Structure 1
Amino acid sequence: MKADLDALDLRLVETLQKDSSMPFVDIADRLGVTEGTVRNRVRRLRRLGVIRRFTVSVDPLVLGQSVVAFVLLNAVNGRLNEVAKKLSSLDAVAEVHETHTYGDLLLKVRAKSASDLAGIISNDIKGVPGVAGTQVLSVLNVWKDSP
């Protein structure tokens, strides 16, 4: 269900996406409203599910995860939810998306090296009961990566 947001809500969300650690008083100054307005709006946006959590965005390269791949995965009929839940629990799997056309799931996987990636795919991903097949798309260059 789409939330009913006004221009201030959208500016507030955009500000928090850029820096969720910014104090409410600084956000209020930037948006030209009171700190209380910011606090109330954030509370409302959390209640509506617009803001799910406050988190940090880390650079995977700095953490040594320089290899990125997307994995198209087919699941055995009737086991898609089970497979998706198990894959979602793997540390190397950054994202899990159910797809419509090519495969059942699209995974974003991060690894320290090509050999590390091969092990993750061969052992961790293909080792999940219910995985019928995979196709790996290695990333050569990232032009945009945003939350």
Structure 2
Amino acid sequence: MRPAAYKIDELDVRLVEILQKDSSTPAVKIAGMLKVTEGTVRNRINRLRRQGVIRRFTVSIDPMALGQGAIAFVLLNAAPGRTAEVAKRLALIDVVAEVHETHTYGDLLLKVRAKSPSDLADIIASRIKAVPGVAGTQVITVLNAWKDGA
């Protein structure tokens, strides 16, 4: 059960913006930026975590540096009544960066990263299409990423 919601104020918004840019920013530095005490920053962060506003702290990596230069978006149709099950299974595949349910062109939209176009083709054929309940796919291969949230 989720704790009772509280109103997010301007200080919370500014705190979250700082953490989104770099979640490793020390609380004392954030306190100076926001002109509040370090205790206030720590209390706000803890409260935002309890409320589920901040879900986790993570690392943002450069996929190209890890050899994941090939990107594709996969429009996927699931068998009737199996969309949630298929989505959960696809989300477990390490190279599937994103899974979104859609209602326009198919049931799910995936963002997939791979080492090369041939690796990408292999992943789609042997891992994505092999998931029980996948009824069909359409692949959009990315040539250039002008802005990529990774």
Q: In 2, Cα distance between the equivalents of 1:58 and 1:3? A: 32
* More divergent stretch after superposition (113-122 vs 136-145): 136-145
- Which residues in structure 2 correspond to 1:24-103 (within 5 Å)? 24-103=27-106
Query: Which letter does structure 2 place at the counterpart of 1:95?
Result: E
Q: In 1, Cα distance between the equivalents of 2:14 and 2:138? A: 40
Q: 1:3 to 1:105 in 2, by over 3 A?
A: farther
Q: In 2, Cα distance between the equivalents of 1:37 and 1:15? A: 15
TM-score (normalised: structure 1)? 0.96
Q: 1:136 to 1:3 in 2, by over 3 A?
A: farther
Checking the alignment, whether the CA contact within 8 Å between 1:94 and 1:109 is kept in structure 2 is yes
Could you tell me which residue of structure 1 aligns to residue 24 of structure 2?
Answer: 21
Task: Name the SS of the counterpart of 1:127 in structure 2.
Answer: coil
Q: 1:127 to 1:3 in 2, by over 3 A?
A: farther
Checking the alignment, whether the CA contact within 8 Å between 2:5 and 2:51 is kept in structure 1 is no
Deviation of 1:146 (Å)? 2.9
String of CA shifts for 1:10-37, please: whole Å, max 9, x gaps. Answer: 0000000111111100110111110001
| Count of residues in correspondence between the two structures | 147
Q: Percent identity?
A: 71
Could you tell me which residue of structure 1 aligns to residue 107 of structure 2?
Answer: 104
Q: 1:50 to 1:124 in 2, by over 3 A?
A: same
Q: In 2, Cα distance between the equivalents of 1:30 and 1:122? A: 50
Give the 4+ runs in structure 1 shifted more than 3 A: none
Gaps of 5+ in 2: none
Could you tell me which residue of structure 1 aligns to residue 148 of structure 2?
Answer: 145
